[in-house]
Amino acid sequence: MTEAPIRFYQVGSFAVGNRLLPLEVRTVQAESDRSNAITSGHRACQGCGEALGARYALDAAMAATKGQMFAVNATGCLEVFSTPYPETSWRLPWLHSLFGNAPAVATGVAAALKAQGRDDIRVVAQGGDGGTVDIGFACLSGMFERNDDVLYICYDNEGYMNTGVQRSGATPPAARTMTTQAVGDDPGNVFGQGKDVPRIAMAHEIPYVATATVADLHDLEAKATKAMSMRGARYLHVLVPCPLGWGSESSATLAVARGATQSGLFPVFEAEGGEVTGVTPIRRQVPVEDYLSMQKRFAHLFSPRRRDDVIARVQAQADKNIRRYGLLEES
């Protein structure tokens, strides 16, 4: 765990802030003068996890770099809802190019800054899971391979939500999307496909790889801050629930993200140089069923016929994560 041990305050390290906490222990999001890198008036859906994740990560990075920062954005929900021409929600220098080349464009920006001798300005690239895991993956792998000085943040909502909820390489097995419909004997996305990009990133042995969710702000901010303290290629994979695509309540975005981590389906860890250096242990373990039943994209596992066999396969996946990362070993 990257965070300090639990304090005995009314809220310890879990809430955004607390009037009882010393200033240095509060989150960036607790401060009135946070940069609000993505400001009000954006057109994201109610309860959008990605809008929240982007603000969390970028505000922390802005605080860590004292605002000396440049963002490159892949095509996707985040770009579309924040930047319908001519209006923008971004309050930092921001560049959009194509769906698949954000890592390459960011690399170019970093190279240009280096050529100008501006090592004080840091570069962040960001995109959804479609632009990262699938379409932009070659550029991303190249960026890792060259160890370019860029932090790439993937906001993973497990599908192409902007274009109408299609399957991506990050869509979990058994999930219903428009292209993996809930019809037939084995409905939903198939088992055994897709990509675990955090582990692929680790295989590149880049300086820093981490996963996080919008449900643990302290952890997410600590990782964004740490990433900005380092040079070279860094990768932050943030789980951002999508109320529309996942069929969850708009008020349940953080609860769903918590369910993903507490079931073990989304392991939260960090790695340096290809080795896992820290995990966030599960605090209150829940069966995967609790997580799945919060989302309509898994409704076909419960009705009209309960699919205990499929639920058991998903549980086995969670158990494997728990073993692999030691998510229950410390408390």
Partner 1 sequence: MTEQRLTDLGMPQRPFAITLDVGSSLANHTGTWRTERPVYVSNLPPCNHACPAGEDIQQWLYLAEEGGYEAAWRRILADNPFPAIMGRVCYHPCETACNRAEIDEAVGINAVERFLGDQARVEGWALPTPAPGSGKRVLVVGAGPSGLSAAWFLRLLGHDVTLRDAEDRPGGMMRYGIPAYRLPRDVVDEEIARIETLGVHFELGSRVDDLEPLLATYDAVFLAVGAHVGRRAYVPAGEAARIVDAVSLLHDVEGGTAPLLGRTVAVYGGGNTALDAARTARRLGATDAVVVYRRTRDRMPAHDSEVQEALDEGIRMKWLSTVKHADEGVLLIEKMELDETGFPQPTGEMEELAADSLVLALGQDADLALLDGLDGITTTGGVVDVDPSMMTGRIGLFAGGDMVPSDRTVTVAVGHGKTAARHIDAWLRGTTCPPVPQRSLAAFDDLTTWYYSDAPHRVRPRLEGARRAGTFDEVVQGLDPESALFEARRCLSCGNCFGCDNCFGVCPDNAVKKIGAPGPGGYEFDFDFCKGCGLCVAECPCGAITMVPEE
User: Of 188, 108, 117, 107, whose CA–CA distance to 141 is shortest?
Assistant: 107
Q: Which is nearer to partner 1, 42 or 297 (CB)?
A: 42
The CB-of-62 to partner 1 minimum distance in angstroms stands at 14
Task: Collect all residues with Cβ–Cβ distance below 8 Å to 320 and sequence separation of at least 6.
Answer: none
What's the closest the beta carbon of residue 241 comes to partner 1, in angstroms?
Answer: 11
Judged by beta carbon, residue 87 or residue 119, the one nearer partner 1 is 87
Q: What whole-number distance in Å separates Cα of residue 157 and Cα of residue 178?
A: 15
Alpha-helix runs per DSSP H in 264-301: 288-292
| 105 or 217: CB nearest partner 1 | 217
Distance between CA atoms of 191 and 172, rounded to whole angstroms?
Answer: 8
Peptide bond between residue 86 and the one before it cis (omega within 30 degrees of 0):
yes
Q: How far is the CB of 167 from partner 1 (least distance, A)?
A: 25
Residue number with CB closer to partner 1 (4 or 316)? 4
Of 211, 217, 203, the closest CA to residue 52 belongs to 217
Cβ within 8 Å of residue 26, ≥6 positions away: 16, 17, 18
Query: Considering the complex, what minimum distance in angstroms separates the CB of residue 304 from partner 1?
Result: 29
Read off φ and ψ for residue 269, nearest 5 degrees.
-155, 175
Alpha carbons within 13 A on the beta-carbon side of 14: 10
Give the type of residue at 126: Q
Q: Minimum distance from CB of 135 to partner 1 (Å)?
A: 25
Which C-beta is closer to partner 1: that of 11 or that of 312? 11
Q: Which residues bind partner 1 (CB under 8 A)?
A: 6-20, 26-27, 29-30, 32, 36, 39-44, 46-49, 51-52, 55, 82, 85-89, 217, 243, 249-255, 258, 284
Of the pair 7, 146, the CB lying nearest partner 1 is at 7
Residue 54 C-beta-side C-alpha neighbours within 13 Å: 31
Q: Which is nearer to partner 1, 61 or 143 (CB)?
A: 61
CB of 253 to partner 1, least distance (A): 6
Angle, alpha carbons 17-19-24 (nearest 5°): 60
CB of residue 83 to partner 1, shortest distance in Å: 8
Query: By C-beta, is 35 or 317 nearer to partner 1?
Result: 35
CB 170 within 8 A of CB 195: yes
Query: Distance between CA 75 and CA 126 in Å, rounded?
Result: 9
Could you tell me the smallest distance in angstroms from the CB atom of residue 157 to partner 1? 13
What's the one-letter identity of residue 211?
T
CB-based contact 282:240 (threshold 8 Å): no
